Amino acid sequence: MTSEVTERKPRRRFLLSLGGVAMAWLAAALYPVFRFLSPQPAPDPFGEDGRAVVEKITAADVRRPGMGKNGGYGGRGLLVYRDQGGVLRAFDSKCTHAGCNVEFQGDKIFCHCHGGTYDLDGKNIAGPPPRPLTELAVVEDEGQLFVLRPEATH
């Protein structure tokens, strides 16, 4: 009888250890799935003053009417140009059709994915885009460009 009792303890310890290893493996395998299914929200790119720094575009890049350039802010795409009246204009650079990046082409804004064309006011004028581009307020401060938080512009 003592041999049965002494044999059960190592077997029990082995089975508990095996169960622990299996649980650890299962947790390690399911963690990436959990992270994928519950993504974290993107951080807010706007500071306390309601402004976000424009990346890859400076005021010098758009200093004269008719000049424009693609850039971004906080990981989002942005297109900035200076209109013929000298006013800075900015649009979300995501095409409203399939989300491809649009490009400033002097007299129009063009999406290479499916041939979508927008006028310089962001209105869809040709191709498949169903809606105009989203316009964003942009300001210049000492040579640096900033996008204003959308609710701060109302």
Percentage of the residues of the chain whose pLDDT score is greater than 90: 81
> Within this chain, do residues 64 and 121 fall inside the same structural domain, yes or no?
yes
139 shares a domain with 85 = yes
Q: How many structural domains compose the chain? A: 2
Residues 149 and 91 grouped into a single domain: yes
In terms of C-beta density within 10 A (0-12 exposed, 13-18 middle, 19 or more buried), how is residue 73 classed? buried
What is the strand order of the sheet 116-118 is part of?
A: 102-104, 109-111, 116-118, 124-126
Assess whether 60 and 22 both reside in one domain: no
102 and 35 in a common domain = no
In a domain, 22, yes or no: yes
For the cut 60, the answer to whether the pLDDT of residue 153 exceeds it is: no
Residue 4 has pLDDT above 80, yes or no: no
What confidence tier does 10 reach under pLDDT thresholds 50, 70, 90?
confident
In CATH, what number is assigned to the domain containing residue 84? 2.102.10.10
Same domain, 67 and 9: no
Residues 29 and 78 in one domain: no
- Do 31 and 93 share a domain, yes or no? no
Distances (CA, A) of 129 to 10, 114, 132: 69, 9, 8
CB 95 within 8 A of CB 101: yes
Q: Where are any strands of DSSP class E within 26-87?
A: 51-53, 68-73, 76-82
**98 occurs within a structural domain:** yes
Residue 80 CB neighbours (<10 A): 28
Segment 107-128, tens digit of pLDDT: 999 999 999 999 999 999 999 9
* Residue 23, in any domain of the structure: yes
Is 127 within a domain?
yes
Residue 151: per-residue pLDDT = 79
- Is residue 94 domain-shared with residue 125, that is, in the same domain? yes
**DSSP label of 90:** E
In-domain check, residue 46: no
Burial of 41 (0-12, 13-18, 19+ CB in 10 A): exposed
Give the structural domain span for 122: 51-153
Q: How confident is the model at residue 41 (pLDDT cuts 50, 70, 90)?
A: confident
Residue 44 lies in a domain: no
Distance from C-alpha of 16 to C-alpha of 121, rounded to nearest angstrom: 68
Residues 15 and 82 grouped into a single domain: no
CA distance from start to end of the chain: 85
Q: With a cut of 80, say whether residue 154 has pLDDT above it.
A: no
State whether 78 and 24 are in the same domain. Answer: no
pTM of the model: 0.72
Are residues 64 and 29 located together in one domain of the fold? no
